[in-house]
Amino acid sequence: MKKPLLLIFLILIIDQVIKIYVKTHFIVGEEYKIAPWFIVNFQENNGIAFSMFSGNGSKIFLSLFRIVAVIGIGWYLKFLINTKAHQGLILSIALIFAGALGNIIDSAFYGMIFSDDYFNVATMFPKDGGYAGFLHGKVVDMFFFPLVRGHFPSWVPFWGSQDFIFFREIFNFSDSAISVGIMLIIFFQRKFYPRKPEATVSGKEVSETIQGA
């Protein structure tokens, strides 16, 4: 029980420290190049991937959905611990739980505790209040890894003559924890979910059953 709780606590601390630092030192859109393939690029996600569900009504729905999902993941994690499941599976689910919870903290509370940061660096607990209400906060993203940059040939359908970047998505530490947890489950699913041996009936048992009938 201690290991998954410690892992969750550690991920949440690292995630929030990074996010708070970025929000209080960067303006949205500002970036800092650590290496050509590793850039800190401050962005805020108003919905989920590709800005889906970015309206106000959808924002509340998305935040509530995240909360319900985290409750479900938490229940499943407790079930795995109580049933003494494979330690690797427990830690993988703990990674997913911590990552999901880390992003919920942003969407639930960041709007209330931070000022707007589109033209100025955000401040914590501003006198005039935050930039949004409860469950209307934006998730902070910052990690950008443009590992490969190139140009599509003109003959490529749909993307011909366009620039491409791999990996173009910008994400945060919580997203990384979720991705690692999912990948571990996929790669080690046979070990995490071993098949129970099928019950076999010997010829002697069948014979005794018939005679007894």
> Among 90-99, 172-181, 188-197, where is mean pLDDT lowest?
188-197
Q: What is the pLDDT of residues 86-135, one digit of tens each?
A: 999 999 999 999 999 999 999 999 999 999 877 889 999 999 899 998 98
pLDDT digits (tens, 9 = 90+) for 8-44: 999 999 999 999 999 999 999 999 999 988 999 999 9
Residue 174, φ and ψ in degrees, nearest 5: -60, -45
Catalytic residue status for 141: yes
Catalytic residue among 15, 117, 141, 163: 141
Active site residue 175: yes
* Beta-carbon count within 10 A of 55 CB: 11
Q: Could you tell me if residue 126 is left (phi over 0), alpha (psi between -120 and 50 degrees) or otherwise beta?
A: beta
Q: Residue 54, class by beta-carbon neighbours within 10 Å (0-12 exposed, 13-18 middle, 19+ buried)?
A: middle
Whether residue 114 contacts residue 122, with contact meaning beta carbons closer than 8 Å, is answered with yes
Question: How far is Cα 203 from Cα 75, in angstroms, rounded to an integer?
Answer: 44
